[in-house]
Every structure is written in structure tokens, then in C-alpha cells.
Chain A
Amino acid sequence: IAGITQAPTSQILAAGRRMTLRCTQDMRHNAMYWYRQDLGLGLRLIHYSNTAGTTGKGEVPDGYSVSRANTDDFPLTLASAVPSQTSVYFCASSEQAGTSSYNEQFFGPGTRLTVL
């Protein structure tokens, strides 16, 4: 693994189903983020984690949950998917959170999710 990987690449899901999007990084970065990208709205922050064991809510957290059991993995779960969650989801990481100078963000390749 080099950088950030996301799985699946794409998924079609029936409304009401539970879905977990996976994100793994091998850079030992402390901070990780989940964003969604929608046409006309751009990228928006869903949830973030400054370090393993902690998480926080972003701009659009409703309907999503995250966990950070270790440094490398940051899964995003949709407990009961709805069509408005159709989007492209990007995971990202940075060495540190906050105002540190080491907070360039590295992005995963994205997961295209369609909820019918």
C-alpha cells in the first residue's frame, strides 16, 4: 500500500441498507477526514479524526458515523442509506491536525456511491 486507499471504488446500494466505506493510510498520519463531493456544492467535510481514538463532526455529519480504532483505518458508516447520500466520497489524511505546518492533506481515490 502506498498512500491512501479506499474501498469499494463504486457501489450501488438500496435505500435503507447499511454500508461501510473503508479508508486505510500507510503514512502514519495522525489526522484523517471524510469528505463528500456533490455537483454544484463542491467538497464538504463529514467527519474528522485528529488522532486515533478521537473523532469530530464536520459540516454535514447527519446520517454518517465514523470510528478510529487505530492510526491507519478510518471507516465511514451509513447506518440506513438514503438517496440524498448519493455522492462521491473522499478520504484524506494529514500528518497533524490543526494549525501545524505539517497539515498538507493527501486524498484517496474516492468511492462513488449511488443510493436508489
Chain B
Amino acid sequence: GENVGLHLPTLSVQEGDNSIINCAYSNSASDYFIWYKQESGKGPQFIIDIRSNMDKRQGQRVTVLLNKTVKHLSLQIAATQPGDSAVYFCAENIPGENTGFQKLVFGTGTRLLVSP
């Protein structure tokens, strides 16, 4: 498989547990945030997003929390399953750069390992 996770922090959980993955973002002007899931040998896959005017957003088994005060984002996965094992990373959108088009800045990610 790909070695993109070679130097990543790792979160190990048991199947059925809830998982929390954290991300510190860099720019206080960022107005939009995305969580991606990257399985071995595959490209990043969109999971959930949140705008800066919100502090919580829920999807199917996933919740994203945004704390703009400390520039922190978290992804909560309920009832984690072995199929959730992957690298998860956040991205922030910095408005106003690059001739007005949005610019995404990606985090380095966390590896989630789910044991049956």
C-alpha cells in the first residue's frame, strides 16, 4: 500500500467504540473546513464539511465540531467499524487568496486503526 501514513499519529480503537480525531488549523480567516478519509491505495474521499458560522454538523455516524476560538476541528465517528480504518485529514479553506478563488490547505492526517 501507499506509505503516506508513515509518520502519522495513530489512533487505535476497538470496533464499536467512538473515535475522535483532532485537527488544529492555521488561519483564523478560514471560512470552511472539510474532513477527508484516505484508505490505503486510494485517493482522499470527502466525509463531511462545516462552515465557519457553525460549530457542529452531523452526518451519518460522523460529527464535526469546530472551535474557532482555539482554531480546532474534530471529527467524531460513532460505533467505529473496521471499514473506518484509514488516514483522516482536515482541510481549511482560506478565502481571498489566489485571485479570489478559494484555496484549500490540507493537514497531515491521523491514522485510525480499528480492531475487530
User: Does A pair with B?
Assistant: no
B-to-A contact residues, CB < 8 Å? none
